[in-house]
Amino acid sequence: MRRTTSKATITDVARRAGVSLSTVSRVMNGNATVDAGLAERVRAAAVELGYTASPLARSLVLGRTQTIAVVVPDLANPTFQEILRGLGRAAAGDGYHVLIADSAEQVDEERVLAAETRRRTDGVVLCAPRMPDDELGALLPALSPAVVVNRPPQAGAPVVAADYRTAFADLIDHLYGLGHRRLVYLAGLARSASNAARLAALADARAAHTDLEITEVACGVDFDSGAAAAAAVRRSGATGVLAFNDLVAMGLLSALADRGVRVPEDLSVAGFDDIPFAQYTTPPLTTAAVPASDLGARAWQAMHALLTGGDAEAAVSLIPRLIVRASTGRVPA
């Protein structure tokens, strides 16, 4: 008669199968070196007794937690949420769990979280880390295995990134093609690598178009930052706005509407990221669609390769896609 009590132990299984405790342990942990006949006998005994290996015990035996950590700078940002979604689903498909830590845009906190979560997990993914290159480079060996998302290539760790420079250039070219010659850029955080990529695209555009004037305004990364920039945008005399991301663009759209400024008749506005709300703004937002879920999935692929002894690509680059909607139009006459 099959015994289904949850109190069955590994000793019970060993006794029923007539094998040693170590043999049961190897079979339950998927060790392929155990004789096939013995392995089948152990599995049959485990089924009869209703025995399942404790995840904690299995982790102790294997020396792994089946968990990785992901450190992000801002969990409220929909782009980071989508990266986590892609990574988490891919990791779950391989039997791994994901521990998430939010550094709240604080470099010191980011450094501490990376070290502390790594001690409790099998590896760590740093998503858009804000620490300087030299600090990041010094920290990565201690975190190994580690994967970095949305930073330039780093020694000692695979990097999965979106090509923000190329995508931002596409947005600039779009506005230039509509006749805009005076633009304003609402800049993100100075320590953000993606902000640096946008600034590089602006420099490229200035070099390519001597008739193009671009004013940079220190802003931020959220709704409030965009709304607060409305006065500076109007003072700039620009006919087109390049916001650091969609959240900033949405905050700006709201503030402009309160001031009676029509978009795009009076002023064109472009965002970046194509978060789920971007197509539902008034008017719908021109932006660049970052393949955030794919970034997360590719980050997991790199981490899984490191964890299983495979080959991880040193650098993976995905190009965001220009999405033209009604928030941009021809320069006002």
Q: Which residues of 181-205 are buried (b: 16+ CB within 10 A; e: fewer)?
A: eebbbbbbbeebbbbbbbbebbeeb
β-pair partners for 97: 67
Q: Give tens-digit pLDDT for 34-52.
A: 788 888 888 888 888 877 7
Check pLDDT > 60 for residue 62. Answer: no
In tens, the pLDDT along 243-286 reads 999 999 999 999 999 999 999 999 999 999 999 999 999 999 99
Half-sphere exposure of 52 (CA within 13 A, CB side): 6
| pLDDT value at 234 more than 60 | yes
Instruction: Give tens-digit pLDDT for 154-210.
Output: 888 999 999 999 999 999 999 999 999 999 999 999 989 999 999 999 999 999 999
Query: What percent of the chain lies above the pLDDT cut of 90?
Result: 77
Yes or no: say if 184 and 202 are a contact pair by the CB < 8 Å rule: no
48/63 Cα distance (integer angstroms): 28
- Entry pTM: 0.81
- Nearest to 62, CA basis, from 30, 24, 36, 91: 30
